[in-house]
Chain A
Amino acid sequence: MLFGRKHRKPISIPVKEVKEWKYTTCNYCSTGCAIEIGLNENGKIVTSRGHAGADVNRGKLCIKGLLEHELFESPGRGTMPLMREKAHLPFQPTSWDMALDKTAAKIKEIQEKYGRDSFAVVSTGQLLTEEFYTLGKLVRGQIGTNNYDGNTTLCMASAVSGYKRSFGSDGPPGCYGDFEHTHCLMAFGSNLPEQHPIIYWRLKEALEKRKFPLIVIDPRVTMLAQFADMHLPITPGTDTVLINAMMHVIFKEGLEDKEYIEKHTNGIEALRALVADYDPKTAQHVCGIDEDRIRTVARLYAKAPAAMSIWTMGINQSTHGSDGVVDINNLNLITGNIGKPGGTSLSITGQCNAMGTREWSSCSGLPGYRALEKEKDRKHVAEFWGIDESFFPAARGLTQTDIFPAIETGQIKGLWLVATNPMTSMPNQPRIRKAMENLEFLVVQDVYEDVETNQYSHVYLPAAVWAEKEGCHTNTERRVNLTRNALPAYADSKPDFWIFKEMSKRFEDRNKIPFPETPEGAFEEMKILSKGAGRTLDISGMSYKKIEAARGIQWPYSEAQAMADEARVGKVEEFNLQKRQDFLGDSRLYTDGVFQTPDGRANLIPVRFVNNNECPDAEYPFWLNSGRVVEHFHTRTRTGKIGNCNKFSPTPYMEMNPDAAEELGIDHQSYVRLVSRRGDAVVMVQLTHRVGRDMVFIPFHFHDCVNRLTLGLLDPYSRQPAFKQNAVRVEKIDQQEAARLNLERRAF
């Protein structure tokens, strides 16, 4: 001790006496980080830590993951099922049997009265894969409504649609390991440091080992844009124009991979013809990126030995979302950058299990990337479940974004919401509110009783969350990873798996299907369904133990691959889980250039840009852009209650350009009222040059905020809303009144 001190002072640092570490996968975003939950000798959670041996996160976690174990006992959790006759009456506590009986009876009543499709189910990307599979079985196999979708329509539908159009199937073809091999990375509307910090870290690690050019296309100067070698501040919604112009340059200068195009693609002539119209000279005036830059970037990308593109909501949430994805795929196909190390089209997904729902929930079809439209698939699944094939519709029904207008028109009378909060997440809130009031019956199944949508419900089913349950997630790079059950469900809440299973008993009068008792039982069923020649989505070689031992396995991982690995490392039952076992699924898809299309060739699809966006005008002079902040997840029902997350943005705010603000006489850190053609919202102003003079940016997490303003025009293919292209004006507001409103609208 220095400075003459003689007497020792106690050093007290909180000790977490961990008796057992439980293996889990993070339940927030799609990165798929492995987390170990530390339990003390009483089975109470005392801490958590990133799993240092997991390949995805290698011990790192973002703020949300680091504090995730605090959510189990957060305020607002549902403790018991609730019921009421009318949405304006107070809730009464009830039993699970009563709540499930009532729900089943109402579903049947509505279906009998208005037809089978008059009851809709909207699920999520937040459940475990086994739960998605089970819900799909219940909805497709027993309830039999065709109006069944997930909230992934708000985030990933365009990626799914784009992949299907280009490659014949969904499934991101690349992996995080591609950062280590690429020679040029282009990020479209993807702000990794904020949205996917751990993927950003993997990119940063790769960049520190070996520098390669980073190009960021984003209308805001995000942290990633700031760190990029080239930042292209594009005009909102015009990505396809930029990409077409890049392809124009590539073709004009003969930089395309002629051999790859020749061997593995269809449609080159139509694409060449279309992009001929997109010379950089013309395109620059539409997309806002000068012709010089377009040429530089196109040449750099095409000449790189391996180049990859990543994208997130900047592409997906647009009226050209699916087209944007297709165009990115076009760019990578013509430069031969699919299925090779460092060359890929990698969609960076949103929710933790958006992939799981895409693969197994039967939302947009049938389990295991099967389609209702294919008779072979309908037959296969009907046989497997033991039901009549005719019970399945021959075409997909409404998407989430079409279900709400159908409620509006009276076509749909009843709704079951599972772990999604449309009262905050859907665009054009005033319209959604009206629609919700039209429902004859709404059942909300959620972890939180205070989820805003619950104000319209007739039955509330309290669900367990994350490690209160057991099952798998699939991450952005197709890695299936496990969450072990670490603690019992909170109060009288139940795992979603249990809820679906119990509900299925009430529909056995329609179809009697066996439902496995455990999630692992469901996983075994999925494994069988995943088998088949030429299938990419093959998980038949996996098991819970193997997944945990490997800290996640990428699909495809077939029985044959599993046997080869077992021959190499021995039987899984003998493994010490303290050490990682390399059970390696395929890192990349389409490495052989064979795609999931009928002829095995990828489709080059010409994409023509039509400007149907609500653009700023004299009356509404600002682009309204929205996005995520790192400390919050989605509608804040979880992170809004964890103080060490929430404190970094406890109330809604808006980034606004200081020059624009000065013209309007608006001060930093004052409140303003935003007005669009749909409604208004009150936010606090953060003046920053991160946004241009004609744009404002608002994080989308807050209730009664940005989605009171958004229009959300739908993409024609994916039906995903364009959250990021809307017009607003900014008005002054009485500061005290605004503060009062701000406080009133913050229940958490």
Chain B
Amino acid sequence: MLVEEKKMDDSAAAGSTAGGCGKPGGCGCATGESKKDASAGRKIWEIRTEEQAYAFLSDKEMAETNRYGQKIDLIEHTEHKLPVGRSMFINENPAVGTNPNRNKQHGFFFTADNCIGCHACEAACSEKNENPPHLAFRSVGYVEGGSFPDYKRMNISMACNHCDDPVCLKGCPTRAYTKHVEYGAVLQDPETCFGCGYCTWVCPYNAPQLDPVKGQVSKCNMCVDRLEVGLKPACVSACVGNALDFGVIENIPKNREQARVEIPGFPSPEITHPNIRFQQIRGLPDEMKRTDSMPLKYHKNENGRYQPTIDHKKGKAKHWNMARLSSRENPLVLFTLSAQAAAGAFALAFLGAQAGVAGFVAFSQSAIYAPLAILCFLMIAFGLFMSTMHLGKPHRFYRGFNNLRHSPVSREGLGIAVFMGCLGMHILFSLPANSLVQGLAGNLVNALIGVQTAGKLAAFFGYLAIPASLVGLYYMNRCYRIKARPFWNHWQVGTAFFGSMLSLGALVAGVIMVTTLAVSGASYGDVLLAGAVMLSLGLAIEGIGHVAHARDMGRAEHEGGASYYIQTTTFGKTFMLRNAMLGVNVLFAAGLLTLMLMQGASGMPVLLGWVLVGATLLATSVISRALFYVLVIPTTMPGAFFWKNKGFEEHARDIGLANMPQVGVAPLRH
């Protein structure tokens, strides 16, 4: 028992002598102190009468390290910092399991040659875990190939792989995930989870399940209750094809001879070092296809291994599908765009004035400076609100900062929050100098703080806000650099986000500053020029990123390439419109800028030109960002024809089948 585990553990830790031996091979009913008498002697799991050999774990020997060099004994892995024989407190039961290998990393063993796709594993799991039809900790999909009658189907049953490098644990901003030294189980606490769904983005195997009804994630718990009494997980015990097995990792079950880490349809094990091993010996056709709507298939390469390649399932025709741009991730479209715009706008107005550029200084001394800063503040607030509403449990938003150690989501949140805080203080200390405030309550304000002091503090917080915003945006970008989402895992995310910061920021700040200066009759030439340069730079950066991204994804033979295929077909016309608008806008902005720099052009025609550029920019940005979210195809496991088939889910929602709960497709919340 760890001394640090004060919060929930001390009572049990103090008195764990009574009643049980707590040692491997012991009685399995170690109890806590008298306070917990009610649960004393409670069985962790009731073994069936006349239980069969297939249900029991049977690891007699095991390797020192796994194939990735990690210690299989997790106590050794943690350099004996943790004691053996601790209770897992499953359902707050202080009993300690009798499994002699409970501190060894365990994993599934899947004989792909044998799986008959009978759903017994899924049913046993759902029964035990009481999952509603639209959720499943384990799912069976398949790939198939060949032509009749020389045809093969390979079913794949997949749950959580309790990885050595659990990207879910690292990604989760709430610290809902724990990797235990018991069995190496990666467990997740749905109560801690606030339903952001980020773990479902980063997991390559679709293991964490986001429940749109409950607004939280839940996942495979490795049946640690069964493991504690020496039984294999429920899914394994239920397997009818003798395909699924379980044990200490790297151990090959009786009658099996191979322990591969890849089969067709399974994502690269390099992402997470998953604790699953495969046997797949029977010959398969060179090309294995998916029955679900993912435009991917798998082709045998020269090493006899299967690589993903694009399957042009829906032909080459280009469509608009504008309505489909709207998705569950709409709040994130608005959050990212508004946060980026706010960061850019504030930076332009603030740094311009700090640099002493005349127009900026004039604006900063105007009554409208504070409203611009407040607008930026509100934009971030709106963005954060939208992103909070995107959570399954918005009222738990504060948990988002709990995993600064690992999660880019937490860091992004912190960066944006600090930016917002500093901006707030900046606004507050900018107010004393504001002529409107002076006019309304000058005496009162001046009594509290001198205008000079306030100005210095405002500048101080302004200078703090800029790096905070950059840190926030950097981690916002890192959030999307997900290996399991190759369409996103490209430097274009950075160019898009920082490009938008520049272009949208310049647009927001420019519109307000130029209008203010123009109305007050002041000169806005240098502001317009600075804004124009920044906007054009942003456009150019974004454009370069898009070109490189399209080139790389267009050539890619992976999920990113599949996304690109959808981009150029399902959304083909929308994509072309976006490209055309972006291209024309870049040229137009460059032309205007040239005119301004070379010819000294100014006045209404130039202004109108920039208004046009700005309007086009807004439309392009929204389409681009919406595409960014709807297009991404994760490296999920192949689905079946109905179950885990995005195409069918969409269809069931469209026609109303999803309103019948037994169809297993949860209607989306709106």
Task: List residues of chain A with CB under 8 Å of any chain B CB.
Answer: 1-15, 18, 36, 47-49, 51-53, 58-63, 66-67, 193-194, 197-198, 200-201, 204-205, 208, 221, 223, 225-227, 231, 233, 578-580, 630-631, 640-651, 653, 657, 659, 668-669, 686, 688-693, 739-740, 742-743, 746, 748
Contacts and interface: CB of A to CB of B under 8 A. Distances in A.
Interface in B89-110: 89-92
Nearest to A631: B119
A647 B406 contact: no
B662 A641 contact: yes
Interface in B132-159: 132-134, 144, 146-149, 151-153
B181 interface: yes
Contacts of A739: 651, 654-655
10 contacts: A9-B189, A13-B129, A58-B52, A63-B118, A193-B116, A201-B241, A221-B153, A647-B643, A669-B641, A743-B655
Contacts of A631: 119
A13 B241 contact: no
Contacts of B490: none
B221 A13 contact: yes
A228 B171 CA distance: 45
A740 B238 CA distance: 38
Contact of A690 (B78, B88, B153, B648): B153
Contacts of A12: 91, 189-191
B542 interface: no
A2 B77 contact: yes
Contacts of A642: 662
Contact of B148 (A52, A204, A690): A690
Given A643-B663, A646-B664, 10 more contacts: A1-B181, A7-B4, A15-B91, A52-B55, A60-B238, A66-B238, A221-B153, A226-B152, A640-B662, A643-B132
Interface of B: 2, 4-5, 7-9, 46, 48-52, 54-55, 74, 77-78, 82, 88-92, 114, 116-120, 122-124, 126-134, 144, 146-149, 151-153, 166, 169-170, 175-176, 178-181, 187, 189-192, 221, 223-225, 237-238, 240-242, 255, 291, 293, 313, 405-406, 640-643, 645, 647-648, 651-652, 654-657, 660-665
Contact of B120 (A1, A13, A62, A227): A62
A61 B151 contact: no
A647 B642 contact: yes
Contacts of A221: 148-149, 151, 153
Nearest to A651: B657
B57 to A, nearest CB: 15
Contact of B146 (A49, A66, A689): A689
Contacts of A52: 48-52, 55
B118 A650 contact: no
A155 B104 CA distance: 51
A13 B131 CA distance: 11
A66 B127 contact: yes
A576 to B, nearest CB: 10
B148 A2 contact: no
Given A66-B123, A648-B642, A201 B240 contact: yes
A690 B175 CA distance: 46
A575 B147 CA distance: 57
A748 B128 CA distance: 25
A9 B126 CA distance: 22
Contact of A59 (B51, B221, B291): B51
Contacts of B149: 221, 225, 231, 233, 692
Nearest to B661: A643
A208 B643 contact: no
Contacts of B656: 743
A706 to B, nearest CB: 17
Identify the 10 closest CB pairs spanning chains A and B, nearest first. A647-B664, A643-B133, A53-B50, A193-B116, A643-B662, A63-B123, A9-B189, A66-B123, A689-B151, A650-B663
B242 A205 contact: yes
A630 B91 contact: no
Nearest to A580: B50
Contacts of B151: 221, 226, 688-690
A578 B49 CA distance: 6
A11 B88 contact: yes
A641 B662 CA distance: 6
Nearest to A219: B149
Contact of A11 (B82, B221, B240, B643): B221
A643 B189 CA distance: 25
Contacts of B134: 643, 647
B291 A686 contact: yes
B648 A669 contact: yes
A588 B189 CA distance: 54
Contacts of B9: 8
B114 A204 contact: yes
Nearest to B647: A669
A8 B89 contact: yes
A693 B648 contact: no
A3 B179 contact: yes
B40 to A, nearest CB: 16
B648 A2 contact: no
Contact of B5 (A6, A14, A60, A648): A6
Given A204-B241, A223-B117, A643-B661, A11 B655 contact: no
